[in-house]
Structure 1
Amino acid sequence: MSNKTESTVEISIRKKIFNWAAVAFFVYLVLVAVSTVSSGFKLFSGGTAGAKEIFEFATNPFVALLLGALATALVQSSSTVTSVIVGLVAGGLPIGIAIPMVMGANIGTTITNTIVSIGHVRDKAEFKRAFSAATVHDFFNLIAVAIFLPLEIVFGFLQTIAQYCAHLFVGDTDLSIKSLNFIKPLTKPAVGFLKDILSFIPGSNMGLAMVVIGILIILVSVTSLGKVLRKVMVGRAKDILHNAIGRGPIAGITSGTVVTVMVQSSSTTTSLMIPLAGSGVFTTKQIYPFTLGANIGTTITALLAATAISGAASEVALTIALVHFLFNVFAVVVIFGLPFLRDLPIIAADKLARIGSENKFIALLYVIGGFFILPGIMMLAAR
């Protein structure tokens, strides 16, 4: 009897080890897939050079906002776009045009976790939970822009505060925490290997192929990750994660900020939460504060980019980086702090998720139309 008990325990331990190894593997695949899509979009759209060309014809705040959103959706990285904006401001781009751009970057960066949520599309209940958790980020950022962009155009308070702070701190921003970005070194070999395999495809078409393959990897890995998470997220493991994220809004915001500062990518941070939501480990309400922390944490990249600017332009570069930081902090304080605004993103996300789970075409139309077609049309119309 004792031998049977020991054998059962050993099997149970082996299963746990195997399941956790599977979680690590599929999480890595998600990271690689997100990096592949990001690299593919950069290659297809021309990367930083392409972003600069896009920004050249920004003529008013509304066009600048749409440009920021569209460029970020194309490049799949608000970090890249905000870093480009910092460089452009240092090169003479007016801050009044740059501020709507960074706000637009906040909107565009949410497309990645929305794509990840589509990985749950085959299961209606899972897709509803995942799509809701992904789009709550969208609606929060849209509400933030709707509140703060008009106020900034009229009063310029973000620019005023940022300029004051930049004047105080310029010259004292030599500290760099780029070494904390351990995600890129982890995923770079796999993405590079994929590029080598696709090297026979000419020019930007290789970028398009990488996007397609990245999305396919996301679909497979997220589906598999969701299945494994149901097995491992029980007992103590679930309690530990809930203490970090599901304990309350302060813990959630803090966790989201810290993790995003470490990986320097809000897309990565929020994307990894979507399978947990789809699997029912967390609700949209619990993940909501975590995404707000990710918004704050992602501003570290623009701040780091500003430290690379020297001379007379350093202060103005730091100013736009601080605007990005202040915008996200104030948005969390105002929207999450005011009870009548706090639940609006959740309500909107849940409603869209219900509609999208009933009609998958509407969910797909939301992603393609909302992030690419509509901003493109509106941008052209506003010129």
Structure 2
Amino acid sequence: MSIISRGFAGLGSDAAHTMFAFAAHPWVGLSVGILGTVLIQSSTTTTAIAVTAVGSGALPIEGAIPIILGANVGTTVTTSLVALTFIGDRTEFRRALGASTVHDFYNWLALLIFFPIELLWYPLKHISGTLTDALYDTDWLPNPAHFNFIRAATRPVEHGVIQLTSHVSSALGPLFTILIGALLILVAVRYLGTLLKLLMVGRARDILIKAVGRNAYLAMASGMGVTVVTQSSTITTSVLVPFAGTGILTPAQVHPVVVGSNLGTTFTVVFAAFAGVGQDAKIGLQAAFVHLIYNLFAIITIYVIPFLRPVPLFCAERLARVAAEHRWVLAVYLGTVFIALPALVIVLVGVV
């Protein structure tokens, strides 16, 4: 993230703002978040890049919020693809798809509720700003900048990349710096997720299986904890799909784990945001807090309130029943909702 920030600074304020001008429209930003996350298969990477752009002053906080909300939706497509491994057996496929798409519909419902509210009254912007001010401007809380061990640990790598790109032309050097930083985030998230999956997924799986059958809120806490450890909500939810496909778990039991994993994935970006430096680093941390607060609100509104809790489960099981009978329905659903519609919005709204 520090490397990307240096790249944006090297572009100059006018060039950096021009790069993100296409995402200034909230619907375009939302679509960029969805499509970008589908393509790179990491909501953490998409959110981290948006937070870094805000922290470097290249993107206003209002422009980052739709991207962050879109990334929250785009990450769900991976779990749905895991269900395809059961497509040979209609019953197992229905069970697996019902469990995997709970994540889809939970995040779509959260987006449907909070995106219009944010466009009208900006509660995520205001609350995250208040929280950020509390961390930086009060005496009873330590200033995060005073404990920035992340910055100290990554500085040698940052300096090495800057020296490498300094040999490129002044126009292309900052762009290469941004590209290298983005690739390093993607590689780090991928490698960390793979490594922790090898080391922890068996243990985490046992914890989840025990917790899921006992108490919904314990299952939620387990989903959050495993996601914090593995740095990936996809790992947490994907692990459960085979158990749902074979009938060991039900979609209703998977539901609270999905809710917890959504919250767990937000801590990665908040943690990384403390590495930000410069006059806009504070607002970059605010963008990271947006992701955390959004998922907290979603839990309270959708899961804690009994009225809305069954909605994602009902939609997921309904789609699973239809797709089990007509396999092409899943392809149409994934291709339309996660690729075609966001791309169409970017083209149409971006041109206008």
TM-score range, shorter chain: 0.7 to 0.9
2:23–2:29 contact (8 Å) kept in structure 1: yes
Aligned match for 1:354, one of 312, 321, 330? 321
Measure the CA separation in 1 of the matches of 2:215 and 2:18. 43
1:164 partner SS: helix
**Counterpart in 2 of 1:328?**
295
Aligned match for 1:172, one of 121, 131, 144? 144
Counterpart residue type for residue 82 of structure 2: V
**Counterpart in 2 of 1:208?**
none
Measure the CA separation in 1 of the matches of 2:274 and 2:128. 15
**Counterpart in 2 of 1:69?**
34
Q: How big is the shift at 1:90?
A: 1.0
Please give the per-residue CA displacement for 1:314-361, whole angstroms capped at 9, x wherever unaligned.
Answer: 210110100100000110111112222110000000000001000111
Q: Report which stretch shifted further, 336-345 or 319-328.
A: 336-345
Using the size of structure 1 for normalisation, the TM-score is 0.69
**Counterpart in 2 of 1:163?**
129
| 1:277 aligned onto 2:244 | yes
**Counterpart in 1 of 2:61?**
95
1:256–1:293 contact (8 Å) kept in structure 2: yes
Aligned match for 2:339, one of 344, 364, 372? 372
Q: How big is the shift at 1:184?
A: 3.0
Among the aligned pairs, what percent are the same residue? Answer: 38
Q: Report which stretch shifted further, 163-172 or 110-119.
A: 163-172
Relative to structure 1, is the Cα distance of residues 369 and 176 closer, same or farther in structure 2, using a 3 angstrom cutoff?
farther
Measure the CA separation in 1 of the matches of 2:236 and 2:304. 23
Unaligned runs of 5+ in 2: 1-16, 137-142, 154-187, 196-201
Relative to structure 1, is the Cα distance of residues 59 and 183 closer, same or farther in structure 2, using a 3 angstrom cutoff?
closer
Measure the CA separation in 1 of the matches of 2:144 and 2:73. 31
**Counterpart in 1 of 2:74?**
108
1:55–1:67 contact (8 Å) kept in structure 2: no
Counterpart residue type for residue 184 of structure 1: Y
Counterpart residue type for residue 221 of structure 2: T
1:89–1:316 contact (8 Å) kept in structure 2: yes
Relative to structure 1, is the Cα distance of residues 167 and 186 closer, same or farther in structure 2, using a 3 angstrom cutoff?
closer
| 1:123 aligned onto 2:123 | no
**Counterpart in 2 of 1:184?**
191
Counterpart residue type for residue 65 of structure 2: I
| 1:85 aligned onto 2:50 | yes
Correspondence 1:157-306 to 2 at 5 A? 157-170=123-136, 171-172=143-144, 174=147, 184=191, 187=194, 241-306=208-273
Q: Report which stretch shifted further, 241-250 or 344-353.
A: 241-250
2:263–2:292 contact (8 Å) kept in structure 1: yes
Relative to structure 1, is the Cα distance of residues 311 and 293 closer, same or farther in structure 2, using a 3 angstrom cutoff?
same
1:86–1:317 contact (8 Å) kept in structure 2: yes
2:270–2:285 contact (8 Å) kept in structure 1: yes
Relative to structure 1, is the Cα distance of residues 256 and 183 closer, same or farther in structure 2, using a 3 angstrom cutoff?
farther
Please give the per-residue CA displacement for 1:145-183, whole angstroms capped at 9, x wherever unaligned.
Answer: 111111111111111111111112143264779x9x998
1:257–1:295 contact (8 Å) kept in structure 2: yes
Measure the CA separation in 2 of the matches of 1:327 and 1:380. 27
Relative to structure 1, is the Cα distance of residues 176 and 53 closer, same or farther in structure 2, using a 3 angstrom cutoff?
farther
1:136–1:284 contact (8 Å) kept in structure 2: yes
2:71 partner SS: helix
1:130–1:275 contact (8 Å) kept in structure 2: yes
Please give the per-residue CA displacement for 1:246-287, whole angstroms capped at 9, x wherever unaligned.
Answer: 222211110110000001111111111111111111100000
1:341 partner SS: coil
2:26–2:63 contact (8 Å) kept in structure 1: yes
**Counterpart in 1 of 2:285?**
318
Please give the per-residue CA displacement for 1:204-236, whole angstroms capped at 9, x wherever unaligned.
Answer: xxxxxxxxxxxxxxxxxxxxxxxxx9xxxxxxx
Counterpart residue type for residue 134 of structure 2: L
Counterpart residue type for residue 339 of structure 1: P
